[in-house]
Amino acid sequence: MKQNFIIRNIPNTITCLNLFSGCIACVMAFRGDYQWAAYFIYIAAVFDFFDGFAARLLHAYSAMGKELDSLADCVSFGVAPGLIMFSLLGRVVFPDYLQPYAEYVPYFAFIIPVFSMLRLAKFNLDERQTSSFIGLPTPANSIFMASISCYLPAFMHEHGMWLIGVTVAFSALLVVPLPMFSLKMKNLKLKHNTRRYIFFVLSALLLIVVGIDHLYLVIILYIVMSLIIAIAEKAKVKKKA
């Protein structure tokens, strides 16, 4: 009985570690330490990947686990990237016409957690999103925001409007009806995970070439691959019809 209790709670424990990492990322964002904020968002994403994998592997599904996962994601992949962007927007240079409003512009960053919550709420209610996603997953969006905060500070300091554009574009990607393949695997078999393994290999090669600091490029690769797969599948269905 004790062993069963422990096994049942392994996925929830991993989810709590996701939340814990997300909370630390928020603190690092408040301090303006973007490197460590990014690291803890990456760690949270790893925990987010493995909590579902552990639940499937151990057959330890629970209603509480599903709710806990969404609540943890709200912090790690909603609030944390929002705080990073808030901090960045408070440090950049804006055009003259925005200077009178410069102190208020950073609050625009909080559309990231707002749209992230909308994305998570839709995911919980949408029965179509069992093996794939509709809209950019919140972990992918969070990783992108964390990565650009580390690699492009000098560029962004002189181009504040670029940050606003990124915030709008990626917030929209969270809720648009764009099919995206899931990276979560039910097993390790190649025939069930071909596109995932292709993505992992391409991502590894990309990072070897450009360096780990360019992790945001992996998210762009993920979006492009999802678009290509969606177009190919739509053309396949149209051909059959």
Residue-wise pLDDT for 49-99, tens only, equals 888 777 777 777 777 777 888 899 999 999 999 999 999 888 887 777 878
Share of the chain above pLDDT 70, in %: 91
pLDDT band at 172 (very low <50, low <70, confident <90, very high): very high
Give the pLDDT of residue 129.
Answer: 63
Mean pLDDT value across the chain = 86
Exposed/middle/buried for 173, CB within 10 Å: 0-12, 13-18, 19+? buried
149-153, 197-201, 213-217 — most confident range: 197-201
- Which sequence spans correspond to the domains of the chain? 2-182
Superfamily of 2-182 according to CATH: CDP-alcohol phosphotransferase transmembrane (TM) domain (1.20.120.1760)
Amino acid identity for residue 63 in this structure: A
In sequence order, the 6+-apart residues with CB closer than 8 A to the CB of 160 are 89, 92, 93, 94, 95, 98, 105
pLDDT band at 152 (very low <50, low <70, confident <90, very high): low
pTM recorded for the entire structure = 0.87
Task: Identify the pLDDT of residue 228.
Answer: 92
- Token pair, residue 190, equals 């190649």
HEC-encoded secondary structure of 163-204: HHHHHHHHHHHHHCCCEEECCCCCCCCHHHCHHHHHHHHHHH
Q: What mean pLDDT comes out for the span 17-31?
A: 96
Instruction: Give the Cα separation of 113 and 76 in Å (integer).
Output: 10
